[in-house]
Structure 1
């Protein structure tokens, strides 16, 4: 029991440190724009490169997880990730910054696949859900990184802030990595897991479910404040509460989500979450005042919070498929929703109201609602029913 508790704390620590790195990136972009004297368009290209790095490297670490186990893959990704924020700060030109950002995005994404696979392994060993709380620790790390990042850059400078984050992450990794669950690779008897995409359609369908769950999250992150200002007449100070309400309720519900999923089951929890998210986005889209819209975004956060963690658990337990391979497909498809949402919604916003867009996003969540039976692979049977899990 002590070992299992230690492995759960270790994988939670990995999510916290990964979130801290991502959150620390948020206030760095304005500093980069000032140092390199670049426009918003070029800064947007840098952000795109970060996403491309993640999407490119995620499948590589999915295959590595299948061949060598998630513990090996997460160590490689985590130590490779650790200095990347400092490399970005020290890069002297636009092209070296772009290269460093690609490496940052790739190692962040690779670690994301591996640590989610390790969380699945811990779930199997404990026979209990932990994925939602792991994502809660990621949200907490992101909040700390973004919240302290601006002050850190102001007080310490761009390089000083990056160095401080690097030292904190290095110390954290030194503590948690030795305690990470050492799971067995999917390759048995010397056989190699082929470096190809899975041929079974199930992980792609679960990936579609994750994609539809993450697009609304990206839409609230990037456009809620614009909606509240442009169509609701809210001040800038009030407009910021749109995403804050969503992020706050998401964080709380992710820490509560494992107990809820254990009590209700993954399928029922996903259905309930999708219904709540649909009601929240619908309320935001139909709102007649900023306060009502903010409440709607908060309600949407309650629903969205546990949809992706359940999808990730389901992907990591697809029968006959290594967890790293399934997760690489679902994480790549899911996170592409956050990458695709900003530009696509910006294009739509020039042709229709944000109110209509958020109502459309509520309708989009009918997809994971209807696909909720696929989440049954995220549930666990009592020990003895199917034998001890392979971890």
Structure 2
């Protein structure tokens, strides 16, 4: 089969009998993925110490993790078109649930390279697949739920980091990894069997990996790239900016991303209702204006707390931009949702992987204030393409 052929269909019998479970099944996928992601973040300093490497060397290992994620994202399109997002999500979920145990047992630098590549691959593959399933549920139920699905991911990340911060101190890395795997595995066993089935009819044709030939999907991918670069810039450099520009202490500096992520998570749970009422395009445009305003003000803020408040405002806007982009990608006519989401996710996350190092280099010369102002202007490009978000409102076929 071709990765571009057709739009995924949902089996009517399954819709009638289990539709009420689909929303919570995909929420369970997002939560469990976020839970393990938040837990993995806490293992980074422990693994660095266990391997006996510097921050620079481990930075290269993080790059390997990112390359694994991008590789899996790029290969997911035809897998989703052939097997359906429910099966692909479940397959990658097994790795997400249990691979952290392998990470906790890894104490050799050379083994760490393939281990972290595979860790990134299972995270990246599940990310694309569960977003594709969320699109299928939106079509099935005829209403938005992508924003709150991403909200469940944020909630899972918070739960994973909160539990791990306490447990790791007393029990160690391996015990913590086992506990995370058990909790994530239980959540997945309860929820993932209820995922909506959106697979195409099975064929005997081989899976072919090729790029889509619809120009619009690359424009949507560019929107994802330009929208996710600012998010990565706040994640990686907000604390440094606040500390350097305002001579703030480390605690105060850390509030920048904390405020950004808190407002983003909160608004993601509210975003679906707003989008259902006002439509994807209007919600998208207002979100971009809010996000751009927050980033722009943060760039010339006269005081640390004004910059922190500006980052909080930016989080309000950023919250619903990427979920709407993903919904729009998954609803494009003439291209399978999984193929579209694979490309758009790959383009978007490549910005988070590559851009922070470039931003850090530029910020070291001109300061991070001007950088955030330029990033706000990048969102103007996304605003100019906002009419493409109308596909996110496509209802059940």
2:61 counterpart (46, 68, 71): 46
- The aligned counterpart of 1:335 is 349
- The aligned counterpart of 2:77 is 62
Q: SS at 1:365's partner residue?
A: helix
Question: In the aligned structure 2, how far is the partner of 1:71 from the partner of 1:52?
Answer: 24
- The aligned counterpart of 1:292 is 306
Question: In the aligned structure 1, how far is the partner of 2:26 from the partner of 2:384?
Answer: 31
Q: SS at 1:350's partner residue?
A: helix
| Residue 256 (str. 1) matches residue 270 (str. 2) | yes
Q: SS at 1:83's partner residue?
A: helix
Structure 1 residue runs of 4 or more that deviate by more than 4 Å after TM superposition: 187-193
- The aligned counterpart of 2:10 is none
- The aligned counterpart of 1:19 is 34
Question: In the aligned structure 1, how far is the partner of 2:316 from the partner of 2:20?
Answer: 27
Q: CA deviation at 1:204?
A: 1.2
Question: What is the 5 A alignment of 1:210-359?
Answer: 210-359=224-373
- The aligned counterpart of 1:367 is 381
Question: In the aligned structure 1, how far is the partner of 2:223 from the partner of 2:151?
Answer: 20
Question: In the aligned structure 1, how far is the partner of 2:62 from the partner of 2:155?
Answer: 22
Question: In the aligned structure 2, how far is the partner of 1:3 from the partner of 1:247?
Answer: 33
- The aligned counterpart of 1:384 is none
Q: CA deviation at 1:5?
A: 2.2
Q: CA deviation at 1:288?
A: 0.0
| Residue 203 (str. 1) matches residue 217 (str. 2) | yes
Question: In the aligned structure 2, how far is the partner of 1:44 from the partner of 1:162?
Answer: 22
Aligned length: 382
Give me the TM-score of the superposition, normalised by structure 1. Answer: 0.95
The CA RMSD measured in Å over matched residues stands at 1.4
Question: What is the 5 A alignment of 1:109-148?
Answer: 109-148=124-163
| Residue 86 (str. 1) matches residue 101 (str. 2) | yes
Q: CA deviation at 1:147?
A: 2.4
- Conserved in 1, the CA contact under 8 Å of 2:35 and 2:159? yes
Give me the TM-score of the superposition, normalised by structure 2. Answer: 0.94
Q: CA deviation at 1:150?
A: 2.5
Q: SS at 2:248's partner residue?
A: coil
Give unpaired runs (5+ residues) of structure 2.
Answer: 1-15
- The aligned counterpart of 2:181 is 166
Question: In the aligned structure 2, how far is the partner of 1:32 from the partner of 1:68?
Answer: 35
> Larger relative contact order (C-alpha < 8 A, sep ≥ 6)?
2
- The aligned counterpart of 2:23 is 8
Deviations 1:12-60 (A, max 9, x none): 0000000011111111110011111110011101110110000001122
- Conserved in 1, the CA contact under 8 Å of 2:50 and 2:107? no
Q: SS at 1:207's partner residue?
A: helix
Q: CA deviation at 1:232?
A: 1.2
Question: In the aligned structure 2, how far is the partner of 1:70 from the partner of 1:295?
Answer: 39
Q: SS at 2:332's partner residue?
A: coil
- Conserved in 2, the CA contact under 8 Å of 1:67 and 1:192? no
Question: In the aligned structure 2, how far is the partner of 1:141 from the partner of 1:203?
Answer: 30
| Residue 36 (str. 1) matches residue 36 (str. 2) | no
1:191–1:375 CA distance, 2 compared to 1 (3 A): farther
Question: In the aligned structure 1, how far is the partner of 2:179 from the partner of 2:31?
Answer: 16
Question: In the aligned structure 2, how far is the partner of 1:193 from the partner of 1:257?
Answer: 36
Question: In the aligned structure 2, how far is the partner of 1:320 from the partner of 1:340?
Answer: 31
